[in-house]
Amino acid sequence: MTERKYDVVLFGATGFTGELTAAYLARHAPESTRWALAARNRHKLEAVRDRLSEVDPEAAEVPLLLADVNNPDSLAAVAEAAKVVITTVGPYSHYGEPLVAACAAAGTDYVDLTGEPEFVDLMYLKYDARAKETGARIVHSCGFDSIPYDLGVLFTVGQLPEGVPISIQGFARVGGTFSGGTYHSAIHIFGRLREGAKVAKERRAVEPRVDGRRVRGRQGVPHREPVAGGWVVPAPTIDPVVVLRSARALDRYGPDFSYSHYLVVGGLSTMAMVAGGVGGAVALAQFEPSRKLLLKLRSPGEGPSAEQRARSFFRVRFKAQAGGRELVTEVSGGDPGYGETSKMLAESALCLAQDELPERAGQLTPAVAMGQPLIDRLIRAGIQFRVVGP
């Protein structure tokens, strides 16, 4: 990468999660870090910078860049000026592609928060090859989707014997709320399940096969799980997909690796409520009139208050079996959707910009792109990775 003016540019700094990420950078980025804020509205950018300067007076000097997803030249200018571009502008299926294209063309590293499988698969089909040519690392899902799971499994695998079959189950317990932007992304995913399945099939047809190893996902069934502390249900999110892609790329996951992914729901009544709520949302999202009604329930700019975030938490436990050995590990932290997500996103960008990492390019998972250096960063930032039992 040629010398760039900025180490990190944050695009979408005027949004809810974007401003939290900007605040994290203002507090925690090393003094030598050259970073900038980008969005389409200069007045809102200046207001964000003014609020940041109350936290850190030096933030008053952070450069502001104007960029719009509808203006490819403005995105190209941002990409060409940065080592790494962070984007919090979603839903990514609506607004994400132009920036991926700009970063792939410029050889610029890219990180986002997406949990949208169709978007990730489509970006692979369109831009993976170009990113490999230019040396860009396109790393999706660098927030609560899917850092705790992807890096949690990597951490767990690192505690296990090498060269043996490995089976891991992940159990996520979450206490918190979500923003309007996250809600809108979920409704769009629900409304495009058929289209998403088609794009996923197209990706599988062109992806390189794993040679001499087996990597598979296990669907699992609802059950009571002592390790998780309650009833668990399979969670068909993007997270297990990311874990399995890391396993296919990294030989350390062994000759035969399997993973299953669950959400901890407490009791049977809660499990029924979760299943009914998700099922109803999926059904209503299939039709445009009812989908529009669902989207009106939350505004994309809304998010939980600081008090709500302070009460939020996440805990993901992993139960592993390998070579006759059993192990339980845990990744845990505070507010998953915003406080910790902004931390994960910012540290991912700083890791790409400043750490010594494997020479890889193209669309990569967090574990493949950054791996242990990112785990080390997150531990220093207060997220726990630990072994909790045999």
Cα→Cα distances 113→5, 151, 259, 338, Å: 24, 15, 22, 11
Q: 297 and 160 share a domain?
A: yes
Cα–Cα distance measured from residue 20 to residue 8, given in angstroms and rounded to the nearest whole number: 15
Whether 1 is in a domain gets the answer no
- Domain of 241 in residue numbering reads as 147-336+384-389
Instruction: Give the single-character DSSP code of 1.
Output: -
Q: 121 and 155 share a domain?
A: no
The number of distinct structural domains making up the chain is 2
Cα–Cα distance measured from residue 235 to residue 172, given in angstroms and rounded to the nearest whole number: 9
- 85: CATH: 3.40.50.720
Q: 360 and 325 share a domain?
A: no
Q: 88 and 178 share a domain?
A: no
Taking only the tens of pLDDT, the chain with its 390 residues reads 568 999 999 999 999 899 999 999 999 999 999 999 999 999 999 999 999 999 899 999 999 999 999 999 999 999 999 999 999 998 899 999 999 999 999 999 999 999 999 999 999 999 999 999 999 999 999 999 999 999 999 999 999 999 999 999 999 998 866 655 566 667 767 777 788 899 999 999 999 988 899 999 998 899 999 999 999 999 888 999 999 999 999 999 999 999 999 999 876 556 556 666 656 665 666 767 776 676 666 666 566 677 777 778 899 999 999 989 999 999 999 988 778 999 999 999 999 999 999 999 999 999 999 999 999 999 999 999 999 998
Q: 111 and 219 share a domain?
A: no
* CA nearest neighbour of 5 among 69, 79, 59, 105: 79
| DSSP three-state, residue 304 | coil
pTM of the model: 0.92
pLDDT number for residue 206: 95
Q: 120 and 187 share a domain?
A: no
**Which residue type occupies 125?**
L
Q: 302 and 290 share a domain?
A: yes
| DSSP three-state, residue 231 | strand
Q: 43 and 13 share a domain?
A: yes
Please give the full DSSP string across 15-75, using - where no structure is assigned: SHHHHHHHHHHHHHS-TT--EEEEES-HHHHHHHHHHHHHH-GGGGG--EEE--TT-HHHH
Q: 311 and 254 share a domain?
A: yes
Could you write out the three-class secondary structure of 145-171? Answer: CEHHHHHHHHHHHHCCCCCCCEEEEEE
pLDDT number for residue 316: 97
Residue 163 has a CB neighbour count (10 Å cut-off) of 11
Q: 295 and 264 share a domain?
A: yes
Q: 350 and 330 share a domain?
A: no
- Report yes or no: 244 and 146 within 8 Å, Cβ to Cβ: no
pLDDT number for residue 2: 60
Whether 318 is in a domain gets the answer yes
Q: 344 and 304 share a domain?
A: no
6-11 sheet: strands from edge to edge: 64-66, 35-39, 6-11, 82-87, 109-111, 137-139, 362-364
Whether 231 is in a domain gets the answer yes
